[in-house]
Each structure stands twice: as structure tokens, then as C-alpha cells.
Amino acid sequence: MSQINFFFSPEDILSILNTLFQSNEIEIFQGGIFRQQIPDHVKSIDDIKEFEKLTFWLKNDRKQPVCHPIDRGINEGLFVFDYYRDPIIEFSDCSRKSTTISPGRIFYKGGWIIDEDLRKEHEKWAKRVSRVFDKKTKKLICSGASPMQ
């Protein structure tokens, strides 16, 4: 499992999404729960109207982006990707209110994809995507004594 939390402006997010989209390595899906088993992917970065939640799919020649049915609960009858077995990264944008901002995140589970070559490819790709986000984050460096001392 890997996760990066971040605080970015909408402009920064759009810049990162442009970088990822131009890499031609991914298909981007708006949302995380879909009405169709084979959801429509974003054809152009300009098509993304709301990027509260996105799913990034690693383009590959071994597995196509097909969702799995949800068989119980409030989302029964809808579809999701399997974050254990599918080559995906989940993206959640920051929540921005007038007085607060909550962090966004990217998240993926590595090491569970059955096809060994696809699993290795997914892990390398997910690390590259993580670096794109990590490069944009500003690091806070604390100096001085630890509060525990």
C-alpha cells in the first residue's frame, strides 16, 4: 500500500493531471463508483469538470478496464475497480471550504495483481505517479528539540 496526502490548489491539480494525461500511460475515469461495467474514460483533460475523485488506470496489453459489480449495500448494482487486483491508483482531491482545507490523496495497493509482469509494471508506474505528486509538495522541515523531550 502506498499513499501520499497533499494540499494543492485546483490549478496545481490540473497541472499534475495534464502531466499524467500527456504521458499516455493512463486512462482517467471520473469517480470511483460507476454505472457501467466498462466506464467511459476521459478523452481530453478538458473533459474533467469535477476532479473530486478520479481513478487512474495503467494502460497495458494484458488487462482491460472492466469493473466488478457491487453485490450488496447502498451501491448494489453499480460497479467498481478492484484496488487489489486492478492496475489502478485512486485519486481524491482536497476538500476546500471557506475556512478550511482537508488533504487530498493518491492511493494504490501494490503486489496483489495476479499477472506477475503487470504487477511489476503497475508498481513501477505507481511509483512514477507518486513522484509527480511528491515533487509538487512543499516539504516542512522542523528543527530544534522534539516536543517529546
| Residue range 27-59, pLDDT digits in tens | 999 999 999 999 999 999 998 877 899 999 999
Amino acid at 129: V
| Residue 129 within a domain | yes
pLDDT for residue 101: 87
| Residue 41 within a domain | yes
| Residue 18 within a domain | yes
| Residue 145 within a domain | no
pLDDT for residue 98: 86
- Tell me: pLDDT of 143 over 70: no
| Residue 32 within a domain | yes
pLDDT for residue 148: 52
- Tell me: pLDDT of 149 over 60: no
Of 45 and 88, which is predicted with more confidence?
88
| Residue 147 within a domain | no
pTM: 0.89
Residue 29 corresponds to which cell in the numbers above?
475515469
Residue 46 corresponds to which cell in the numbers above?
478538458
Total tally of structural domains belonging to the chain: 1
Range of the domain at 35: 2-136
Percent of the chain surpassing pLDDT 90: 77
Q: Extract the runs of DSSP E, i.e. beta strands, from 12-146.
A: 26-30, 53-58, 68-69, 79-80, 88-92, 95-96, 101-102, 104-108
- Tell me: pLDDT of 145 over 80: no
| Residue 81 within a domain | yes
| Residue 11 within a domain | yes
44 CB-near residues (< 8 Å, 6+ apart): none
Average pLDDT over residues 17-34: 95
- Tell me: pLDDT of 63 over 70: yes
Handedness of CA 10, 16, 22, 28 (dihedral sign): negative
